[in-house]
Amino acid sequence: MEHVSVLVNEVLTHLGPVPGGIYVDATVGHGGHALSILKHEPDVGQLICIDQDSDAIERATAALAAFGNKVTFFNQSFTLLKDILSQAGVNAIDGIVFDLGVSTGQLKDPSRGFSIYLEGPLDMRMNAGAALHAKNLIEELDTNELANTIYRYGEERFSRRIAARIKARQADINTTADLAQTVFEAIPARFHPRRIHPATKTFQALRIAVNDELQALESGLQAAFEALRSGGRMCVISFHSLEDRIVKTMFKQWSGECVCPRDLPVCSCGCRPQVRIITRKVVRAGGEELNANARARSAKLRVAEKI
């Protein structure tokens, strides 16, 4: 199950790893970005690799074995970056990469319950030890809460119909196939999207909720900002507008651009520049990469440098 990493050259160019530098791959996955950093600059001081999925840590450990104790692994959430760095004996870092979302290994493993197309248990946890999975999320939320979740995290216009149908059948919805079929039936046929499965947005919403992904992203970015030394860079690859909005807003806040409402006559937010935004325009994959890797189509890279 090969995972093709996205925007690898663009990340390397912007991260600019130097000999002796300390770097973090906050979402090591299959180890693709980590490997590219180590190949590009074999003399980095340390590469700290994080993933909340133990399968990912196992895979990345094997992929990066040749680099010995230069690389350390932490099977934790990147929200715990501060603790992880103190466990690693590191005070400040020179750069960090976030490559958000799920990996091919996660998506293509039916037992993880991420895929609309592969039948498996209704799970969707990136951290298989976490208490909440998609089946109990559906059971715990009432119809209104479920509709709000599907609307907010999936931007799904039929969220109310979908939530009502799911709740009416929840005892019989045990697999990804049951859920996909239920959503398929809840959306009127004439509104079925042509290019994607009608349940795509609902699956995205439940996955985000199960893994608390947006809250985690905000905490992870804040922790990364605090850990970066002056001149250190943060590279963030996002895959949907909800993630990208968070990255863009936090970068803007740190860059000192005023975030007061437009109709406020005098600035009251007191923002002062703490980062320089390196990517004024978001970086997207080029034609060759787009042809080779479908995941690259929605990938957006933003980079900021600590002042």
Ligand X SMILES: C[S@@+](CC[C@H](N)C(=O)[O-])C[C@H]1O[C@@H](n2cnc3c(N)ncnc32)[C@H](O)[C@@H]1O
The contact set with ligand X (CB under 6 A) reads 3, 5, 27, 29-33, 50-53, 56, 77-79, 99, 101-103, 126, 216
Nearer to ligand X by Cβ, of 79 and 175: the residue is 79
- Which C-beta is closer to ligand X: that of 217 or that of 228? 217
C-beta closer to ligand X: residue 176 or 211: 211
Nearer to ligand X, 1 or 267 (CB): 1
* Beta carbon of residue 287, minimum distance to ligand X (angstroms, whole number): 21
Nearer to ligand X, 182 or 244 (CB): 244
Least Å distance between CB 219 and ligand X?
8
What is the residue type of 205? Answer: A
3-state per-residue secondary structure call for the chain:
CCCCCCCHHHHHHHHCCCCCCEEEECCCCCCHHHHHHHHHCCCCCEEEEECCCHHHHHHHHHHCHHHHHHEEEECCCHHHHHHHHHHCCCCCEEEEEEECCCCHHHHCCHHHCCCCCCCCECCCCCCCCCCCCHHHHHHHCCHHHHHHHHHHHHCCCCHHHHHHHHHHHHHHCCEHHHHHHHHHHHCCHHHCCCCCCCCHHHHHHHHHHHCCHHHHHHHHHHHHHHHEEEEEEEEEEECCHHHHHHHHHHHHHHCCCCCCCCCCCCCCCCCCCCEEECCCCCECCCHHHHHHCHHHHHCEEEEEEEC
**Is residue 224 a contact partner of residue 97, using CB atoms and an 8 Å limit?**
no
Instruction: For 256, list phi and psi in degrees, rounded to 5.
Output: 85, 0
CA distances, 305 to each of 13, 37, 150, 237 (Å): 13, 18, 35, 15
Shortest Cβ distance from residue 192 to ligand X (Å)? Answer: 28
Q: Which is nearer to ligand X, 50 or 247 (CB)?
A: 50
Nearer Cβ to ligand X (10/51): 51
Least Cβ distance, residue 26 to ligand X (angstroms): 6
